Structure 1
């Protein structure tokens, strides 16, 4: 259909033309021009009422004009004038209708955009309010109306103070809004602030509010845009985070052990106890320094190795005891636990350090006391063990001095007793031998066991005992003193052979026990060791054998300890005994 606006314009121009032509040329046939707008009106508005009104108007226009022009009687003149005015009014109405319809597409577009904007604003999780230059509300989205409990209130054109009367619960909040609005006007710039609004359920909501003042070119206030975002959950999270941080800081401050964080080999954090442990007055003296500034030179390599294992090799936690150099130069002993963590987005090491200097000194004193006690005990045992053969020797010497017979038999007994004294003294010397005198080298355990089994094979055959050696896989060499380790194997195997007077089998298994150690397990089928005797096996000169010296296991424990290994014994009566010897693989250093 043709646009109605253009038809209205055409009709209006035609009406005006008909009037002008009749006035100028004063010829009635020109009124036929009125047929054209009549048809146009009917075409545009096929409604019969519009057609009738248009016909009446056009007829009034025709006769009114004729009466005015061709008749000069006063009554007719007045009637014609009235009819002419009526027709002209209708023409003006038609013209205004055209102007309205001409702007109709633009108006509809504006209304459509306005509706889209209103839909968008109402969908926002924030409250959005438009105010005019006098603070009167022009528009508020649904979220804001529900927040202030103004959903059914005709709010447009009212100020905050006026709206406060409709929402008594939010009266204070609305009045506060007026005050902060004024600050935004005064600042003449975008203002950020936090505003709190109490809720009927007793809770309080906090909003991050942005206020944008708008001005006319001459500086007069034009409007104010207010946007508020609910940040209640964020504020609550911030409060909880702050409280958690304060509690954590309190725990760190009162913790009696030193706690620090190392990032890129530098101290990033240290608590009060850590500052005190390192002889400082404040954390500022220590934070930022290299951690190696506080490590004693003797322990530097060990500490670097520990940090490498924790940070690069995946060890979760490692504990060591090392010397620490304080800020004042004093050297202390510390028990240090290192744990891998993430600090400020970077891999870091959490250090927990405890001063054990007093404990170390107490341990040294205790060790000295124990050594003295052991020396006294050993002296008493040695005196007791040697006294018996010496008494026998003294008696035989006295017999020889008296000139009595049986000299050959006496000499045999005397030699036996001397051999016993020699054995006791030899094993006692092994027990007291210092590790520094040992010769550590990389040796194959399988070869050492072959030498030992060859040496003891004759004794085993005499006791009807079979020694079976089983090697599981490829066994790496160990760092050891060959003769000392052989002595351990000899002691254990001799005990196993002697525990089976009726014969049997001794099984020696050698295998890996994890990535960094090997296991040598010696198992016999002997009589076993009673449970009440197991706790005393480490005691010097304690033996379950009739002719035992009681030093074999003590010496073996000492040797394995020097090799940084372990010796474990399990036994059941009438089932046999199992001895496990665990040795480190390629341990390039040994400790006393």
Structure 2
């Protein structure tokens, strides 16, 4: 009798230890874990609460799990949940979109497994936040598209530019002839259009990932200061103000021509976003091991649906835009081991270019 009691006590102790290990695994899991019974949330670990935007797991208890599923994913999630219930089987990870408590959406992967909770059938779902992965995939896709466009432009650019140069030269000769004086306006217009076409070809060529660059050690502030007269002239034409803030930053390996193009593209983009009388702020700073170049406008901000498409070749919100300006900026940034971040609101937009400091 004493042996049976000892054996049972040991078994109960082992069970408690096993349950405690399982509880710790669930609580400390980096993946979100949520258990729902009849679609009502009964349990969530800290990671699950964080993904859905709750301060503590208890904020989710009693809520309907489907309330957090985005309308684009609802049908698929319902089908997968029915599959668990009907076949008492697990469902593998699949991508879905959830709605957090603050109303924002989040990309996740969800898997599910049936279990019994307090004698009732329930479902344990595992949720993985894939926001960072989706962002990387989007950036890679954009870079591949830019590189493809750049390579295509490189293969035909020479053949297009040669005849354009010839046409431009003959137009200038005709423009200088006395008998063509009355057509001066037309000649100027044709030459301007040829120059614009040549500029667009240059933008296409800038998208090629393997484009040769001539980097040398220099200071970003110095590059920016050399551009100030041109920037201020552009601003004056549009009746806008330029505010410049230089902070002490270390030297970087930069291609002067490319960085000038990057700055001018961002500055002109900012000016186009503002109304007459607006102020454009350009500043440099150092953040840990990154040198920051920032351009902040006072426009109306960028719409959410347009934000994710910024930098995609040929995407533009302007009636006369080519959709290459920001794509070129991203391509130049990539060749300089830099990243471009965007913060936008109804008060304006800030583009930050973050360069890694590699020179000791």
What's the TM-score, normalizing by structure 2? 0.50
Q: Looking at CA atoms only, which structure, 1 or 2, has the larger radius of gyration?
A: 1
What's the TM-score, normalizing by structure 1? 0.32
